[in-house]
Amino acid sequence: MVSDAIRLDGKVAVITGGAGGIGAATARLMAARGARVAIADIAIDAARALADGLPGAIAVPLDLEDEASIQTMVATVVDHHGRLDILHNNAALLGPDIARQDGDIEHMGTALWDRTYAVNVRGTMIACRAALPHLRASRGNIVNTVSNLALQGHLIQAAYSASKAAIIQMTRSIATSHGALGVRCNAVAPGMTLTPALREAFPPALRQAVEAETLRDRLGEPEDIAEVVAFLASDAARNVTGQLLVADGGCASHVPGIAQFRAFFGEHP
């Protein structure tokens, strides 16, 4: 039986990037736990298709590069439901074409860097700013999706990694400035997660290299991250704020090259 504190009955949740991957899994889980979800996405047809299958759900168009679009998203949800309790900032600039361009700093295009920050950091900030007055009224909370790449250096995805690190600090800032006003703000850092976009963007060999570094027996699925988001958004996490919860299967928790050590020593050194 699900604990009452885990339930989201009566809560109104906005999920950006909610039409697919982690966002869609989170929308389904939150709806199953009683929330009325607003699926906000630039892919509005996919958002509508998902919303049609969830009780009380609506789809809202969202372009994180457009400040007016972000403000309209929040206003639309509040007008429709009369309140806002949860903002899950999940959308990011991370399509296959973008991933192929996002390499190391020496070869980084300025336009890609600027657009990554415009969507991931500026867009998240504007969404938080627009939502905070309503979250103060409901004593609600924010959950930001970041990445374990915000905690580690890598050969690729320099822009994405840096933008997600900025959101971690934004999370702490909001938790500090608005905690006494009743608003919590936390972040979840997935590792490589088997979303449709990731399957398209990353060759199997690279996925297998990351899987070899996980401390579990497989890579994470969108539903694994949705469980963490729903927990942080619920009253079960009422004493948790300003925190980063790393949900990467243990990839960020061990010495580099653990896969090579396993090969040398066997499973039990």
The catalytic residue positions are 160
Rounded Cα gap, residues 219 and 265, in angstroms = 23
57: how many CB neighbours lie within 10 A of its CB? 23
Angle at 252 between CA 127 and CA 23, to 5 degrees: 35
Q: How does DSSP assign 87-111, residue by residue?
A: EEE---S--HHHHHH---GGG--HH
Q: Are 190 and 22 in contact (CB under 8 A)?
A: yes
Assign 141 to helix, strand or coil. Answer: strand
Give the H or E element holding residue 170. Answer: helix 158-178
Inter-helix orientation angle 110-117/158-178, to 10°: 30
Do the Cβ atoms of 69 and 126 come closer than 8 Å? no
How many angstroms separate the CA atoms of 182 and 185, rounded? 10
Q: Distance between CA atoms of 117 and 123, rounded to whole angstroms? A: 8
On whether the CB atoms of residues 217 and 267 are closer than 8 A, the answer is: no
Contacts of 81 (CB under 8 A, 6+ apart): 12, 36, 38
